[in-house]
Amino acid sequence: MIRRTGRADGTADGTADGRAGGPGSGDSSGPAPLPGSGPGPGRPRRPGRRRAGRVPVALLLPALLGLAFLVLPLVGLLVRAPWSALPEQLTSPQVWEALRLSLVCATAATAVSLILGVPLAWLLARTELPGRRLVRALVTLPLVLPPVVGGVALLLVLGRRGIVGSWLDSAFGITLPFTTTGVVIAEAFVAMPFLVISVEGALRAADPRYEEAAATLGASRLTAFRRVTLPLIAPGIGAGAVLAWARALGEFGATITFAGNFPGRTQTMPLAVYLAMESDPEAAIALSLVLLVVSIAVLAGLRERWMSAP
């Protein structure tokens, strides 16, 4: 009988009165369930509606082919891995440098995405920003844009002769392209939309009336955001951050276009893999294995949220 309405957008009367019930009726409802708490691990699954009988070959064959197509390359990576030479490969300073650079840059790009992306998501979810649909479309664009195009665009704006870049150069002597900072910028450009979309979804799922409750207790909008909204959407922020981090770690196109490929400075793992393929395929395989392990770790971290399909 207790129906929770998602948003109180002013038509709160429906919320208040939307339950029939006099003194004689009404069933027990505990405190409101936690908003934004996704499907828990112990969630009962719906019994699958599987029909017994033969699976048509016309469906089975392409399905198995598709599976093989997705899995075989990874198997190949494991089969062809130079297991005996692996310890030596992985302890080479070049590998460590690329791995360290990758981790540092992806983490920094995630931090940048968090600092800028969470407020942006809040703006999209909680305010009547004029042209909000357009803004959301623009935010989402880097998701579908070929990363190389992103890199070119970044060069045109932040490059030494770019619109903002030339000013940064002349006024502060700051150069962004072909530096480690440039790597972070390129990765953040590509990864931030993942975070914004994820956090915005979490914000929309969270009941905005908690913020109203905070306001009636004397909290400013910023305090309400900090002390109420942020903790409520923490799982969404976490998932978005992991997703953004994984995307940043694998970034190739925008990075190589905007930041180049200098070992120790801008050569991240994906670039190192690409380069190694030309000169030393075994090293490339070893590097790929490392990235594969990292990806599996990310997937394991996210499985609660993304893998438990309804």
Residues that bind another protein (CB under 8 A): 2, 4, 8, 10-19, 21-35, 207, 209-210, 212-220, 223, 227-228, 231-232
Nearer to another protein, 70 or 222 (CB): 222
User: How far apart are CB 233 and another protein at their closest, in Å?
Assistant: 10
Distance CA 11, CA 168 (A): 50
Nearer to another protein, 5 or 175 (CB): 5
Distance CA 59, CA 10 (A): 50
Nearer to another protein, 34 or 67 (CB): 34
One-letter amino acid at 231 equals: P
Please tell me what DSSP assigns to residue 21.
-
Q: What is the separation of C-alpha 70 from the centre of its chain, rounded to a whole number of angstroms?
A: 22
User: How far apart are CB 124 and another protein at their closest, in Å?
Assistant: 22
User: How far apart are CB 5 and another protein at their closest, in Å?
Assistant: 10
Nearer to another protein, 10 or 48 (CB): 10
Distance CA 211, CA 230 (A): 11
One-letter amino acid at 274 equals: Y
Neighbours of 77 (CB within 10 A): 14
One-letter amino acid at 271 equals: L
Please tell me what DSSP assigns to residue 53.
S
Nearer to another protein, 235 or 263 (CB): 235
Of 193, 194, 151, 140, whose CA–CA distance to 176 is shortest?
Answer: 151
Tokens encoding 292: 């594969």
User: How far apart are CB 118 and another protein at their closest, in Å?
Assistant: 17
3-state class percentages of the chain: helix first, strand second, coil last, to nearest 5: 65, 0, 35
Nearer to another protein, 143 or 219 (CB): 219
Residues, the chain: 310
Beta strand spans in the chain (E): none
For residues 269 and 291, the answer to whether their CB atoms sit within 8 Å is yes
User: How far apart are CB 182 and another protein at their closest, in Å?
Assistant: 39
User: How far apart are CB 234 and another protein at their closest, in Å?
Assistant: 8
User: How far apart are CB 6 and another protein at their closest, in Å?
Assistant: 12
For residues 240 and 195, the answer to whether their CB atoms sit within 8 Å is yes
Nearer to another protein, 15 or 261 (CB): 15
Please tell me what DSSP assigns to residue 263.
T
Nearer to another protein, 207 or 251 (CB): 207
For residues 144 and 162, the answer to whether their CB atoms sit within 8 Å is no
User: How far apart are CB 17 and another protein at their closest, in Å?
Assistant: 4
